[in-house]
Every structure is written in structure tokens, then in C-alpha cells.
Structure 1
Amino acid sequence: MDNFFHRHAYLIEHTDASVPRVLMNEIDWSHRLIGIKGPRGVGKTSFLLQYIKLHFNPQSERCLYISMSSFYFQGCSLVKFAGEFVKRGGRVLVIDQIYKQEGWRDMICECYHTYPQLNIIYSTTTVEQAEAKDHEINTLSKCYFLHGFSLREYINQQTHENLPRVTLEEVLFNTEQVQKNILMKVRPWIYLQNYLHHGYYPFYQESYNFTERLLKNLNAMIEIDILFIKQIDIKYLTRLKQLLYLLTVNQNNSPNVSYLAKEIQTSRATVMNYMNSLEDARLIHQIYKSGANGPKKPARILLHNTNLLYALLNDTPREQDIMETFFTNSVWRHHTVESGQKPGIFIVNNHKICVCNKTDKRRKDNDLLYARYNCEVSHNGDIPIWLFGFIF
């Protein structure tokens, strides 16, 4: 146990909590069982360590961070470990990467019932087995989702500003005032290109090659988070990777499921299941026509974020694809995003929004709002697309 406390103190000492994530203030930390879900690479470990640093003395034994990547737990029960921690006066056990432990949901529930004086915070992936939805842990725990950086969070990290979030309605209908408040402090457009290339995943702040790190994470998402958790045979790994690549190079078209099934040599039903798994892993967005959703074929498939687009393509992505991916990633968390009838048009909470270049000469449609890229400020009622990056 002492070794775990020593490691805990070292990690907390070397954690930067100067710019905490927004989610930090949205969690009810008094709840006895809290789950932090997120895909690989969005900073779940750093988030947990930031929480501890902000709320506990590093030398205190009331709180302890542990990771299920430790081989120690291959020979020691988590429930037994939690009991020893409680005997030493421990009250908050923070468990990282809990999904690596087989039967972890049962273990967490047993700890919850056995040690009523103990609060448990755990992190896990967004990929789950279908039967997990009916597990007791879903009624006991409050779960929160940690995403990658928004453009606003990225700019705050770069400038140490504290730019606040805005609502979708403010962006759409109070554009000039909202952009004025932001432009008084920073010029977001000059940060946008770097964000699109490497700003979504927090590990861009580390020194080694970002794209190589992202590709390594991407492979782990498929090989571990999807194959291992969904219990897909390893021999089908190539099919999953090939499918993701095909979706990437054809993302400006409606997915042809029959073509995809033929290319990766499997059935249409399997392709649909694979696409759902890729979406669970936060690798793609499946966008449906208004009023439709699974199991029907999606109208569009976009990559989850623009960093993936740059990493997966050898050539520079099309600017329209980049901006549509940025737009959908910026609004999907709290809003319904559907595909419009024409290219570049999305329906967000029943608002029709056209994503287009500032130079596009489109006939004005009173039913449409225009999210323009390559422009820094609004013009003639259009909305600069970077402003959508301030919604979360």
C-alpha cells in the first residue's frame, strides 16, 4: 500500500492544474460513485489527477489514485485493496482505466456496498458491451463524459485566458455581441488552423510527435477498446481498420454499405455493427436525415474530429470536409445534428445551417443560417465558423 501512496504523491506533484477542464465544475463530487467516461487520448488520467491536486493535500492518505494497468491487481482483489485503504483512513479511491479489469462492474458495486464510508471515482472508455447497459452500476453511479478540447478550451490553454462558453442560441441570434466579447481578448481565427491539425487531444502539449502519438492511440482504440471490449475476434482487425480508412476517404459521400461490405469481405449487417463500434469509440459521427436514426443507413459519416482527418489521410484534406467535421464536432455534444437535403447543410435543433466558404456565392435563403469559414467576423448576418467552437 505504501508504494501506491508514494506513486500517488509523485504524480500529483507533477500534475499541472493551472487550467482545469470545464467538466471539473460540472460534477457533483459529493456523490459516492462517479464514473468518468471518454475515448482514449482525451486526458482522463490528467483530469483525475487535476481533481486530486485541487481538492487534497498530496501527502494526505484520505485520497488515493490507482491505475488498473498495474500488474498488482492481477494477484490482489480490488475489493480487498479497497478494504485495506479504508482501514488506513482512506475515504476517496480514484481508479483509472478500470475497464482493464475483468468483471470490474461487479467489483465496483461490491466496494460500494461493502464500504459505505468510501467514495469511488473511476474512469473508463466509451465503448461498452451491449449487456452492460442493464448492470446495477448504471443506477448507482453518476457518469460524466470527458471530451477532447474544444476550440475555446484550446485557446484558453494557449493564452491562459478564461474565455467563457456561449450557447448555440447566442451564436445563432446574438452573433455580433458574442464575437465582440471574444475579440476584445483574443483573435480565435489565428488559433483555428493549429487546433484543426492537433488541438483536440490534450497530448499535443507533450514534446514528441503528435501525429505518431495519435496514430498509436488510434490503433489502440481499435485493437483494445473495440476488439477486446466488444469481443471481436482478432482476425477481423484488418477489416475494422480498412473500414475506417474507406469511410475517411469517402466521407463527403453517403456511405454505400454494399460497396463497403464487398471491399472488406463481410456482410452489410457486420458493416453496420462495425460503424456503430467506431462511433462508440469516438472515431466517427453517423449523421442521419431528419427524423431517422439507427438501424437505418446514415446519410453522412464524418470523422469524429479534424485531428483524425489529418492523421489518416496522406494528402491534405479538403477544406470543406475539414470545416464540416469541425462544425459537427463542436455542436453534437448537447444538440441533435441531422443531415440536410443538400451538401454542406446540417439541421441542428431544427435550425438549418449551411457550412460554406466566405467566397461561396449562394443565393440567400431565409430558412438558412450560414456558418462561413475563412472569415474572422460576421458579415451580412453570416456567422464565422470559429464561433461554434465556443459552445463547449
Structure 2
Amino acid sequence: METFYRTHCYLVEHTNAPVRRLLMDEINWNDRLIGIKGTRGIGKTTFLLQYAKEKFGTDRSCLYINMNNFYFSDHTIVDFAEQFVNDGGKVLLIDQVFKYPEWSHDLRICYERFPQLKIVFTNSSVMQLEDFPEINDICKLYHIRGFSFREFLNLKTGHSFHPYTLQEILENHQPIADTVLRNTKPLDYFKDYLHHGFYPFFLENRNYSENLVKTMNMMIEVDILLIKQIELKYLTKIKKLLYLVAVDGPVAPNISQLAKEIETSRATVMNYIKYLSEARLINMIYPNGESFPKKPSKLLMHNTNLMYAIYPIKFEKKDVLNTFLLNALSKGHNIYKGDRGSSFSVDEGIRLRIAMEEGETKNNPRYYYAIRNMSVGHGNQIPLWLFGFLY
């Protein structure tokens, strides 16, 4: 146990999160079993350690452990938790819990056996709580996202801009933009964000694109194959499917053609598309009222950084901007296929359309226009970058 405490203290003391994530204040920390899921490389470990640092420091009542540790190949979480509680432990932070067999079963036992213990665990983005009936009724699950443009801008400029709701942006975008522009020029940073601002490892002194490609491979190999228990021989099919989807761009997928290309059935292609979506590699867009297992109306990459990482792909600039807008809106909003005049329909019929320049399209008062090369908007013309302030 002392070895785990020493590791915990070292990690907490050397944790320096560049951005305090909003999720820290959105979680109800009074709950006894909290799950945090997110894509590989998104900062789940840093988030756990930042929580420990903020709330406990090196107090021994909180302990971080990682299921990669070989100790847990011969010891159970339940036995470890019992020893921790007997030593006065109150909060157990478990990283990469999916690496441990029967993890949901053991967490249920811990929940019932140690009522004084709180457990916070991280898991892959493909985790669906309904697949784990042992903890479905007692676990509160949260999703940690990549950096928003607001967070990226704060990092680059040293400012502390706060987020706005969609309604605030739609109704008050001009004074909000004015406030930001008094301190910095967001358009100077927007192109960089689209290329390399979503994943925290852009802060590391490594080649970002190469690192992202490795991360994407790990998403498929671990988050899909390992967790979904798919045989390794199907790895190349899933990777090829992702590439074909990326090459095709944001269009309705031709499932029969994709099935022919990767030599599998239509049903398998649809399942693979669902897994890629759960791994946060792509986004599926449906008309309002439809969902999986129906064929999506459109497939987009999950975020713009992924588009630049898959080479060689020729994509339209508007495809990148639509991907950015969809990703920014996807926290807390329902997004559906737009009508012929709009890119997306959001929640209860808010119509949004991308434009590169003001005046590019005929202004229709039924739509809101998200405009790329605009610093300050007016009326229903809104700077696209401002939607990056939604979280």
C-alpha cells in the first residue's frame, strides 16, 4: 500500500493541468460512484489527478491507482478497497478501469460493502452504462471532451474567457464578441485550433499529427477491438472503413459499397460505424426522430484535427467548418440533419448554416448563419469562432 501512496503523492505533486476543465464543477462529487469516460489522449488521467490535488493534496484519505499496475493481475479491487478503507481511505480514484476483468461486478461489491467509500473511475468513450447492469442504477457517468476553442484561446493568450450558452450566443453574440475582441483577435488562432487544438497533447514537444495518428490507432485497437471483444484479424477492416468514411467526406454513407470494399456484411459495417462513433472518431447525423440502427444521413469526422491527420484527403473548407460546428454543439444539444438551406437543425428547430463570408448566401431570417471570416456579427449573422465558446 505504501508504494501506491508514494506513486500517488509524486503524481499529484507533479500534476499541472494547463486548463481547469468545466467538468470539475459539473460533477456532483457527493455521489459515491462516479464514472468519467472520454477518448484516448483527452486528459482523463490529468483530470483525476487535478481533482485529487484540488480537494485533497497529498492527504492519504484519497488515493489514485491505475489498473495497468501488475499488482491487480493477482489482487482484486475489492480486497484493495477493503485495505484502503481500513487505513482510513475515503476516496479511491481508479484509472483505466476497463483493464481489470469484471470491473463492474467488483465496483458493485465495493459500493455495497464500503458505504463510507467514494470511487471515481475512468473508462473508454465506448463505455455505455446500459451494458453494465451491475452498476447502472448506482453510477453517475460523465463525458470529458477535448479542448474547446475557448480553452485553446485561453491557453494561447493567457486570458480567462468563460463559456456561454447557445441561447446567449444567438441573442447576444455582438456584445460577447466585442468583449473578446477587446482582449485578443480570435481569428488569429482559429486556423491553428482546427488543425491541432482539440487534444491536450498539442502542448507536448512532439509532432502533433504523428502523435494523433498513433492515438487514433490505439482508439481502434483498444477502445474498439479490446473492449468490444472483436478479433484482431478484423482490425484492418475497421481501419479501412474509417479511412473510406474520411475520404468520402460528410455524405450519406453507401453501406453496400462500403461492405463490398472491406469484404463484410452490411450489418457488420453498420456495427463498425457505431463503434467508430462511440470511440469519438466519427459523428453520425440523423433526421429528427431517427437513430441507429437506421443508416445515418451523414457521417462526419468527430473533430477537425482528425481530418488533417488522415492523409492524403482532399476536403472542402466548408466540411472542416461543419465538423467544427457539429463538435462544438454536441455538448448538451441534440443535433439533426438540416433542411436544404441549413447545415444542422439543433434542439427544437434552431437552423444553422455555415458561410465563408458575409453575403455569400441570401439572408433568410429563418436561419442563423455561422460565418468563418467574421470577427463581429449582427442580427442572424454570427462569427463561427464564437460557437467555440459553448463549453
- Same fold, judged at TM 0.5 (above): yes
Match of 2:200 in 1: 202
How far does residue 364 in structure 1 lie from its aligned partner after superposition? 2.0
SS of the equivalent of 1:121 reads: strand
Distance in 1, matches of 2:269 and 2:147, equals 30
Match of 1:186 in 2: 184
Match of 2:233 in 1: 235
Distance in 2, matches of 1:225 and 1:172, equals 36
Moved more, 292-301 or 233-242: 292-301
With normalisation by structure 1, the TM-score equals 0.95
C-alpha change, 1:380 and 1:120, in structure 2 (3 Å) is closer
List gaps (5 residues or longer) in structure 1. none
How far does residue 335 in structure 1 lie from its aligned partner after superposition? 0.9
Q: How does 1:245-260 map to 2 (within 5 A)?
A: 245-260=243-258
Match of 1:79 in 2: 78
Q: Percent of counterpart pairs with the same letter? A: 45
Read off the aligned partner of 1:31 and give its amino acid letter. D
How far does residue 249 in structure 1 lie from its aligned partner after superposition? 0.8
Cα displacement string for residues 278-311 of structure 1 (whole angstroms, at most 9, x for unaligned residues): 0010111000123322222111100000111110
Match status 1:36 vs 2:30? no
Match of 1:104 in 2: 103
Match of 1:49 in 2: 49
Distance in 2, matches of 1:38 and 1:258, equals 31
Read off the aligned partner of 1:111 and give its amino acid letter. C
Match status 1:382 vs 2:381? yes
CA contact (8 A) 2:37 2:127 kept: no
CA contact (8 A) 1:324 1:344 kept: no
CA contact (8 A) 1:357 1:372 kept: yes
Match 1:136 to one of 111, 130, 134: 134
C-alpha change, 1:141 and 1:252, in structure 2 (3 Å) is closer
How far does residue 380 in structure 1 lie from its aligned partner after superposition? 6.0
C-alpha change, 1:177 and 1:167, in structure 2 (3 Å) is same
SS of the equivalent of 1:231 reads: coil
Read off the aligned partner of 1:110 and give its amino acid letter. I
How far does residue 316 in structure 1 lie from its aligned partner after superposition? 5.9
Moved more, 288-297 or 37-46: 288-297
How far does residue 240 in structure 1 lie from its aligned partner after superposition? 0.4
CA contact (8 A) 2:18 2:155 kept: no
Read off the aligned partner of 1:347 and give its amino acid letter. S
Read off the aligned partner of 1:189 and give its amino acid letter. L
Match of 2:119 in 1: 120
- The count of corresponding residues between Structure 1 and Structure 2 is 390
Distance in 2, matches of 1:17 and 1:233, equals 37
SS of the equivalent of 2:78 reads: helix
CA RMSD of aligned residues (A): 1.7
Distance in 2, matches of 1:55 and 1:185, equals 32
CA contact (8 A) 1:151 1:390 kept: yes
Read off the aligned partner of 1:208 and give its amino acid letter. R
Match of 2:295 in 1: 297
Read off the aligned partner of 2:305 and give its amino acid letter. N
Distance in 2, matches of 1:18 and 1:196, equals 19
Distance in 1, matches of 2:359 and 2:261, equals 35
Cα displacement string for residues 155-201 of structure 1 (whole angstroms, at most 9, x for unaligned residues): 12223322111111122222212212222222221111111111111
Cα displacement string for residues 308-331 of structure 1 (whole angstroms, at most 9, x for unaligned residues): 111013256421111010000000
List gaps (5 residues or longer) in structure 2. none
With normalisation by structure 2, the TM-score equals 0.96
CA contact (8 A) 1:17 1:54 kept: no
Read off the aligned partner of 1:288 and give its amino acid letter. Y
Read off the aligned partner of 1:20 and give its amino acid letter. R
Match of 1:307 in 2: 305
CA contact (8 A) 2:196 2:202 kept: yes
Read off the aligned partner of 1:197 and give its amino acid letter. H
Match of 1:282 in 2: 280
SS of the equivalent of 2:137 reads: helix
SS of the equivalent of 2:336 reads: strand
Distance in 2, matches of 1:252 and 1:5, equals 49
Read off the aligned partner of 1:266 and give its amino acid letter. T
Moved more, 79-88 or 120-129: 120-129
SS of the equivalent of 1:285 reads: strand
Match 1:176 to one of 149, 174, 194: 174
Distance in 2, matches of 1:314 and 1:344, equals 29
Read off the aligned partner of 2:13 and give its amino acid letter. E
Match of 1:328 in 2: 326
How far does residue 341 in structure 1 lie from its aligned partner after superposition? 3.2
Q: How does 1:213-232 map to 2 (within 5 A)?
A: 213-232=211-230
Distance in 2, matches of 1:148 and 1:351, equals 25
SS of the equivalent of 1:137 reads: coil
SS of the equivalent of 1:362 reads: coil
Match of 1:261 in 2: 259
Read off the aligned partner of 1:61 and give its amino acid letter. R
Cα displacement string for residues 128-163 of structure 1 (whole angstroms, at most 9, x for unaligned residues): 379x53513121121111011111111122233221
Match status 1:148 vs 2:146? yes
Q: Which ranges of 4 or more aligned residues in structure 1 deviate by more than 3 Å? A: none
SS of the equivalent of 2:10 reads: helix
CA contact (8 A) 1:38 1:44 kept: yes
Read off the aligned partner of 2:3 and give its amino acid letter. N
C-alpha change, 1:136 and 1:210, in structure 2 (3 Å) is same
